[in-house]
Structure 1
Amino acid sequence: MTDTARATMAPPIDVRFKIAALWTSLMFIIAFVDIFAHLRADVVTDVLAGKVAVFTVDQTFLIMTTIYVIIPSLMISLSLILPPRANRWTNIIVAAVYALTILGSCIGEVWIYYWLGSLIEVLLLMVIIRYAWKMP
């Protein structure tokens, strides 16, 4: 390999950084899909009536929703600091659970933007599982 070719090659990226970047991307998509939902008249009407889908907006709902967002937010850091074995299994389990919850949230949804965001979220989670599974 020539010096020029070697100089233009990107250094390898540690799998932990790849996983952390995937969790970060996932969080942005989750946030924006939810923000965009609040531009929909049906969602705004339901929220003003104290409902989100089949849930009543109350302390319990807001605490559970906060926990739901805290977990993948923490996965960004945990992917970088957990020891390898804990890192692997935590990423695999959390990503699998979130993929199932995202697919479940699509039941009854008719808006294409929501399906697109959910599809990308699930794909990111599948890549996280793949990287975690192959983690050295």
Structure 2
Amino acid sequence: MKKQELEDFKVNIRLKLAGLWTTVMFCYIYGDYFELYVPGKTESLINGNNMLDSPMKLFIASFLLATPALMIFLNLMLKPAFCKWLNIGLAIFFSLFTALVGLSSISEWRTFYVFLAALESIITLVIAWQAWHWPRQTQNTAL
């Protein structure tokens, strides 16, 4: 009996990167959602005693979180060379940023947050790796 192989195809680097940024965004969203279950979190949101207690801090947080969301689209639209370096730069920045967030969140009630921050850092490092190894076109030099 002949074993049938499953059909496979090569996934374009742009789709891989867009998918990875999408995964990072879901981790961000779940982390922020689950944090609402941490004792005292909703009270601090109501009374304004939290990290995002000014219009500028809210803007900076919005800008930071909008960047990965935009990368989903930009990976599909930008020219390859610019896209490659933008992915590498932003992925390294977000890897370090989320690692620092994870380290500063170590506590019993934020174990989930540390886990998600570590996962986000790994995913963004994979983004940098994938972008660094962006495939090159082979040029046909036949006469």
Structure 2 counterpart of 1:67, one-letter code: F
- Structure 1 residue 129: Cα displacement: 0.5
TM-score by length of 2: 0.83
Is the Cα–Cα contact under 8 Å of residues 102 and 115 in structure 2 kept in the other structure? no
CA offsets per residue over residues 17-56 of structure 1, 9 Å max, x none? 001000001001101101110111132233233133xx35
Aligned counterpart in structure 2 of residue 48 of structure 1, from 46, 49, 53: 46
Is the Cα–Cα contact under 8 Å of residues 14 and 76 in structure 2 kept in the other structure? yes
Is the Cα–Cα contact under 8 Å of residues 52 and 58 in structure 2 kept in the other structure? no
Structure 1 gap segments, 5+ residues each:
none
Is the Cα–Cα contact under 8 Å of residues 92 and 128 in structure 2 kept in the other structure? yes
- Structure 1 residue 59: Cα displacement: 1.1
- 1:1-136 to structure 2, matched below 5 A, reads 5=5, 8-52=6-50, 55-109=51-105, 110=107, 111-136=110-135
Structure possessing the higher radius of gyration over alpha carbons? 2
RMSD of aligned Cα (Å): 1.6
Runs (4 or more) in structure 1 with deviation over 3 Å come to none
* Greater Cα offset, 42-51 or 61-70: 42-51
Structure 2 counterpart of 1:125, one-letter code: T
Distance (whole Å) between structure 1 residues aligned to residue 104 and residue 98 of structure 2: 13
Distance (whole Å) between structure 1 residues aligned to residue 28 and residue 40 of structure 2: 19
Which has a greater percent of helix? 1
Structure 2 gap segments, 5+ residues each:
136-143
Structure 2 counterpart of 1:108, one-letter code: S
TM-score by length of 1: 0.87
Corresponding residue number in structure 1 for 2:139: none
Structure 2 counterpart of 1:10, one-letter code: D
Distance (whole Å) between structure 1 residues aligned to residue 79 and residue 49 of structure 2: 41
Distance (whole Å) between structure 1 residues aligned to residue 84 and residue 112 of structure 2: 31
